[in-house]
Structure 1
């Protein structure tokens, strides 16, 4: 289980150090260990340490390390209460696999939230996903620029997959709080009974299983931005508690009584219609107006089809680096993708790009390579061209063979005949043949296009396209 990249143990107690090393080895973690003077060099190396286990250090030394390396998560083996943001928790004896696993997961969350440990390339990729020339996405970018420098609460509305978190991260990256953490919380993915502890933290013994005190997302977001995704899924009791925090900028841990100041910016997002939820009394009206200080609506992808080529390029750059492959789309494939309705929006487009990179690495993708639901219009007919040509050839063989019914032996292959000296207009010949066969199929199937298409060995959409091409209707029988 690869929880952390590299865990550093700073402890002068050799017996305890060996015990922690044994647990980490069992967990599959990489680790370095030693006394304080032996380990400082590891901390000075950027991004080499994912978590630090502190042993028997003096309280002043521990506090100095926490302050000096504020972007590294620490776990202390000394009893007490976490006093700084990067002191994730206390590891209490007897040291166990379960306890250490839980604390390392918290360290992992800290690293994911802290901008110093997020690649700047990742942040730039997020911002670039707001590409587009249409009025809708230009308006979103303008709103982001206008509100980023303020500390006002922002409510991002839009369908699932439209990039609401991308907008939230862009606001954070352009704000004066960019040096602080960006902490996302999916309110719909956390059970209601655990959401309060997740947001506000808890004290030791607050409930069964709370064997140590733990910081909540509000504390982890101190000085930065807290992103409350799917706020419409938050239970009503939690809405009341969140409203109090927004009003007073104070909160308490579960099981605690000490008020903690909340110096965070709140950005919320939802795909739900909150105004309808207020009418249905499933969302508090006062909370809605607290959050909806500055609304931003992300447009669905179907309303910005012209931006799809630019989005594809950004997604290919990102997924191509991950899969070490490239991909190109033909113009017909691009036009077909631009006709799709994209119910899953940008997320659906991203998933499609990754799928195609896996299926067709270092290739050019045409319409026929797209999954069937992404093929549209004339491109479908073109994709079926070779199959249709074979069917036409077989039918023409049959028609020409009928010329020999009056006693002459038919040729094995009429196409082996020598062309007359005056030549033939093959295009007109095949067109006349195709029109005649379509009329016959429609007559035999009482004008039912779907059954006529089955009889001709083609898709219904292909037959409809051919009928349009020749100006035919089902009544032309």
Structure 2
């Protein structure tokens, strides 16, 4: 049964026989039907209760279809109205569309066409309501630490808004430094568990011999040095959430014990046979390729599927360069206040270098770069001089004789009638072929940045797709 089949349809027609025929047909299709003999009665039906769709005849006594359409649209513009009209009244139907109708269909009715238009109208309304619900969720979303307006970030925030209210286990993936911990906090903050604790555990930072005790606790005397009973992180998170960062670092035996917690909702302290029930939502994160780890036998497949109820991918900074100015300002303002310095901004040349850099360390690296810049700053504007050499050298590469020399290579691609863009494309593709597809080496040979090369290649792929 589709979304449309339980919809309530209002049939408005002064012809009783036509109205009855339509009602019978719609009920056979699975719709619920309510009837009205003219426009004023239709308005009364809409005022009394929710209607999903209206089939409106054009010409009726007292109040005609255009006036009724205008009245319904003003009262509730989300109700789709389909006008039924004779060929001679198509101009009036167009007027009705301007008054708020969704579509029109001509008499005598083509029932297949009618069914299709109705389904399309209901699906359109369903999507509108879903989008409005999502907009309301996003408006309520509390994630002040997550900055960015790029399409990649907007998509991620939409996913957070949908996932957070649920009880689903979430696996957060992404490169180191992208902000997976911030995402976990946003999910917890916007969940029904927000009044309870979020316990964060870095699995990579705990010695393997202590992981079980750290997560599940231990009894007094369970091992040397256990001079008192200890409550583990899962018990501390009872009623709330636990964030297991770098979960790929857990050993296979610990993965098996974590799987039991997910399946049974119980933990056992080290040195105890008693099971303790825990109510905890698990948020896990990794920068590893878990599917590759499964193939290598270093990660349990059954645990992966239990964790992977919902997956949320945090985009790397190089895929959201629109956000770099926003993030940079946020960081330099924070470090300026912390270091009691005045920073009025960043010179354009320095910002240009930030945008060209590939950011292997992602947002965390940008944060460190801004802290360094503020500490080294002598004036009021951050310049290239305050940036690390790894970023400064991008300017040197662009101005190097090699870069100019590389343009000389273009001579061997010259042909009569070639445009500059065509010559450039042939030169880039040839260099890429000569380096065996190594983009970093290709960029170095051409005297351009890797980012510029990536943008050029993306453009060529799009051109081929359009062709």
Q: Taking structure 2 as the reference length, what is the TM-score of the superposition?
A: 0.55
Counterpart-to-counterpart distance in 1, 2:276 and 2:333: 43
When residues 254 and 461 of structure 1 are mapped into structure 2, their CA distance, relative to the original with a 3 A threshold, is: same
CA displacement, residues 373-407 of structure 1 (integer Å, 9 cap, x when unaligned): 11265x44xxxxxxxxxxxxxxxxxxxxxxxxxxx
Counterpart residue number, 1:193: 209
Counterpart residue number, 1:356: 373
CA displacement, residues 428-472 of structure 1 (integer Å, 9 cap, x when unaligned): xxxxxxxxxxxxxxxxxxxxxxxxxxxxxxx8953245668xx75
Unaligned regions of 5+ residues in structure 2, if any? 1-141, 413-467
> How do 1:317-336 and structure 2 match up within 5 A?
317-327=333-343, 328-336=345-353
Counterpart residue number, 1:365: 382
Assess if the C-alpha contact under 8 Å between 1:183 and 1:226 holds in 2: yes
CA displacement, residues 16-73 of structure 1 (integer Å, 9 cap, x when unaligned): xxxxxxxxxxxxxxxxxxxxxxxxxxxxxxxxxxxxxxxxxxxxxxxxxxxxxxxxxx
Assess if the C-alpha contact under 8 Å between 1:231 and 1:268 holds in 2: yes
1:156 corresponds to 2:172? yes
Counterpart-to-counterpart distance in 2, 1:292 and 1:318: 36
Counterpart residue number, 1:462: 400
> How do 1:84-233 and structure 2 match up within 5 A?
127-233=143-249
Counterpart residue number, 2:97: none
Which structure is higher in helix share? 2
CA displacement, residues 85-129 of structure 1 (integer Å, 9 cap, x when unaligned): xxxxxxxxxxxxxxxxxxxxxxxxxxxxxxxxxxxxxxxxx9334
Counterpart-to-counterpart distance in 2, 1:460 and 1:332: 13
Unaligned regions of 5+ residues in structure 1, if any? 1-125, 381-458
Q: Secondary structure at the match of 2:244?
A: strand
Counterpart-to-counterpart distance in 1, 2:194 and 2:342: 33
When residues 207 and 465 of structure 1 are mapped into structure 2, their CA distance, relative to the original with a 3 A threshold, is: same
> How do 1:255-270 and structure 2 match up within 5 A?
255-270=271-286
**Offset of residue 361 of structure 1:** 5.7
Assess if the C-alpha contact under 8 Å between 2:242 and 2:283 holds in 1: yes
Counterpart-to-counterpart distance in 1, 2:398 and 2:280: 58
**Offset of residue 289 of structure 1:** 0.5
Counterpart residue number, 1:292: 308
CA displacement, residues 150-200 of structure 1 (integer Å, 9 cap, x when unaligned): 111000001111100010011111111111111111111112111000000
Counterpart-to-counterpart distance in 2, 1:290 and 1:474: 55
Deviates more, 1:319-328 or 1:260-269: 319-328
Counterpart-to-counterpart distance in 1, 2:153 and 2:410: 44
Counterpart-to-counterpart distance in 2, 1:320 and 1:174: 31
Counterpart residue number, 2:258: 242
Counterpart residue number, 1:449: none
Counterpart-to-counterpart distance in 2, 1:474 and 1:244: 63
Assess if the C-alpha contact under 8 Å between 1:202 and 1:210 holds in 2: yes
Q: What is the root-mean-square deviation of aligned Cα atoms in Å?
A: 2.3
Counterpart residue number, 1:455: none
